[in-house]
Chain A
Amino acid sequence: MLHDLFFDYTLRTVALGSGLLGLVSGALGTFAVLRRQSLLGDTVSHTALPGIALAFLVTGTKTPLLFLLGAALAGWLGTLLVMGVTRTTRLKSDSAFGIVLSVFFGFGLVLLTFIQKQPNSRQAGLEKFLFGQATALLAGDVLVMAVVGSLLLLTVVIFFKEFKLAAFDHDYGVSLGFPMRAIDILLTSTLVVAVVLGLQTVGVVLMSALIVAPPAAARQWTDRLGRMIWLAAAFGAAAGIAGAVISSTTSRLPTGPVIVLCASGLVLISLAFAPNRGLLWRWARQLRNRRRLMVDAVLLDLLELADQHGDPRHPHRLETLQAMSLRPSSVTGTLADLNARGWVRAEGADGWILTPEGGREARRRREALGGRP
């Protein structure tokens, strides 16, 4: 399989193209995700469909570059429309995204059906934009992706500071004197171009997953914007290459959906295992906290008993401690913990007492919690 990746021309082209696509869309998707505009990718890709159909109807040819131009124009128009609708009406942005998306996509499907009903057969192949056809990628397509993708990444590097401001605190940016609306449009335009780049490979329906999934996975691993962008780019590239390779192993396994599945897998792994933000970590932290609280509680209970009894060397029964505890079932385990630290020891049949060291520790903790020393 690895051998094929380097020596099989088709697979190499497809893997390179998909990897580039994942890299670019991951990096640019970061801003869309942080601005809570995950629907933006969806809107751009769906609104691009009528652009592709119209490009074919007007010119009557199937030049890929013309398709991309039509797609970009329609996608851009759609996003501007969303911005306009949110600004001038009471509609919230999610409704605006939804409306524009479905109107354009519906129109695109109507055009597509109309084209397919035409008597000549030149229309064949337009429907590949719905789900993408990565295997049709040619070296020339990959070159276009590489050039355009580099320009997009360069834009992010140059305007990193302005884009960060737009994503974090738009109004503050205005107050600093930056033309934030222009920055918004530039930022959105880079995303439009990235989406259009992917239409041929992944298709309008699934392209938005490549915009959203890599950044969502990357956010789990870092708290810095710069690192998040690089990580999202790396995740996107990995998903693209892995998807291309996996789909090549089985005939008739479509590349685009496999790429999206790979990206989703990365999201799942990140959600579960990433340090600090991952579910597993949070679960472990909760468990640790609970154990620490139980240690405090049992220690203080024993101190309380010793104080009441007047004799620190009088043993207290497990049942007494369980009756005092909010989590009786954990008392035995906690006593074992305390015993291991040398703060309590067993005395008699089933009695427990604080060691002198444990007594000091208990008093220290009670004071720290605001009780008497």
Chain B
Amino acid sequence: MVAEASDWAVDVNDLTVAYREKPVLWDIDLQVPSGVLMAIVGPNGAGKTTMIKAILNLVSPTAGRVHVFGKPYAQQRRLVAYVPQRGSVDWDFPTHVLDVVMMGRYGALGWTRRPGRREREQAMEAIRKVGMEDFVTRQISQLSGGQQQRVFLARALVQDAQVYLMDEPFQGVDAKTERAIIELLQELRSAGKTVLVVHHDLQTVPEYFDWVTLLNVRRIASGPVDEVFTEENLRTAYGGRVPFESHRKVEEA
């Protein structure tokens, strides 16, 4: 598949991030085609979260550039939605589910305009999509981990973006919620959206995703799961200690 640069949903070039002298990400090149559901995997400290944050310019890279659909990210912000790690906010904040989900419309609203009836309806639709309609006015600390994760997901859904960057959306989530979330992500893909997910469970990669990036400071490999998710690549990424019997899974794939 030969594609023009502008065809890539996300196009990362020479991205390097260093905290002090230590590089966290080194010279990352990453081309993600439009309409894939991609896992970002790698051992702890591989720079998965940092990569998501660098793409969003939440950490400033030492070098490199990020394009979204052919234009610099700064011009394409509207097309990108972000689902941060659940632990990144204070869940005891005095607010409820609907209020948090409506934050997804703040960018479109712009300065000083308050969310109104339309934003409320859009938020309610997203809340129904993630199955949280029974908790609309529940204070957010009164939710389980999986419910909090679904609130974050709904907040990203109301942004109506083209590209979704998700940092560990399955963390602290029970098996049933995990299924519900992955079905939602697959729906997004069917609707032509591009979804990048920081993922921890190697077992489920072939089942859930069609595209994968293996990361360990450098980009080890990136491409379709059945081509790239090989034992050799996993060994390179995880330093020979692959945390599951990879051969079985890879043969299946």
Contact = CB atoms under 8 A, between A and B. Distances in A.
Given A169-B89, A174-B56, A177-B77, A161 B95 contact: no
Contact of B96 (A172, A219, A224, A228): A224
B244 interface: no
Counting chain A CB atoms within 10 Å of each CB, the highest count among B96, B107, B115 belongs to B107
Contacts of A161: 106, 109, 112-115
Contacts of A227: 94
A219 B94 CA distance: 8
B112 A34 contact: no
Given A160-B114, A175-B56, A175-B77, A225 B107 contact: no
The number of chain A residues touching the other chain, given as a range, is: 20 to 34
A164 B106 CA distance: 11
A292 B109 CA distance: 49
A172 B94 contact: no
Given A161-B106, A171-B84, A225 B94 contact: yes
Contacts of B159: 176
A36 B93 CA distance: 11
Interface residues of B, number: 31
B124 interface: no
A178 B84 contact: no
Nearest to B100: A168
B77 A158 contact: no
A162 B107 CA distance: 10
A222 interface: yes
A223 interface: yes
A87 B234 CA distance: 36
Interface string B107-132: 10101111100000000000000000
B114 A172 contact: no
A356 to B, nearest CB: 36
Given A161-B109, A169-B103, A175 B94 contact: no
Interface in A151-167: 158-162, 164-165, 167
Interface in B51-67: 53, 56-58
Given A175-B58, A176-B106, A224 B95 contact: yes
B88 interface: yes
Contacts of A225: 93-95, 99
Given A172-B84, A177-B78, A34 B93 contact: yes
Interface in B68-118: 77-78, 80-82, 84, 88-90, 93-96, 99-100, 103, 106-107, 109, 111-115
A261 B115 CA distance: 39
B111 A162 contact: yes
B80 A175 contact: yes
Contacts of B99: 225
B236 interface: no
Given A174-B57, A175-B77, A169 B94 contact: no
Contacts of B78: 177
Contacts of A168: 89-90, 93, 95, 100, 103
B139 interface: yes
Interface string A228-272: 100000000000000000000000000000000000000000000
A223 B94 contact: yes
B94 A228 contact: yes
Nearest to A169: B89
A357 to B, nearest CB: 32
Task: Specify which of A160, A176, A224 lies most central, judged by the most chain B CB atoms within 10 Å of its CB.
Answer: A176
A223 B96 contact: yes
Contacts of B106: 161, 165, 173, 176, 178
Nearest to B106: A176
A171 B89 CA distance: 10
B94 A224 contact: yes
A179 to B, nearest CB: 10
A239 to B, nearest CB: 21
Given A36-B90, A224-B96, A176 B107 contact: yes
Contacts of B93: 34, 167-168, 225
B97 to A, nearest CB: 11
Given A168-B89, A168-B93, A169-B88, A178 B112 contact: no
Contacts of A175: 56, 58, 77, 80-82
Nearest to B77: A177
A281 B89 CA distance: 27
A167 B111 CA distance: 16
Nearest to B109: A161
A171 B94 contact: no
A56 B103 CA distance: 47
A119 B106 CA distance: 60
B89 A159 contact: no
Contacts of A164: 95, 103
A53 B114 CA distance: 43
A164 to B, nearest CB: 8
Contacts of B113: 161
Nearest to B111: A162
A158 B81 CA distance: 25
A266 B156 CA distance: 39
Interface of B: 53, 56-58, 77-78, 80-82, 84, 88-90, 93-96, 99-100, 103, 106-107, 109, 111-115, 139, 155, 159
7 contacts: A171-B84, A175-B58, A175-B80, A178-B106, A178-B107, A223-B95, A224-B96
Given A168-B103, A225-B99, 14 more contacts: A34-B90, A36-B90, A159-B112, A161-B109, A168-B95, A169-B88, A171-B53, A171-B58, A171-B88, A177-B107, A222-B94, A223-B94, A223-B95, A225-B94
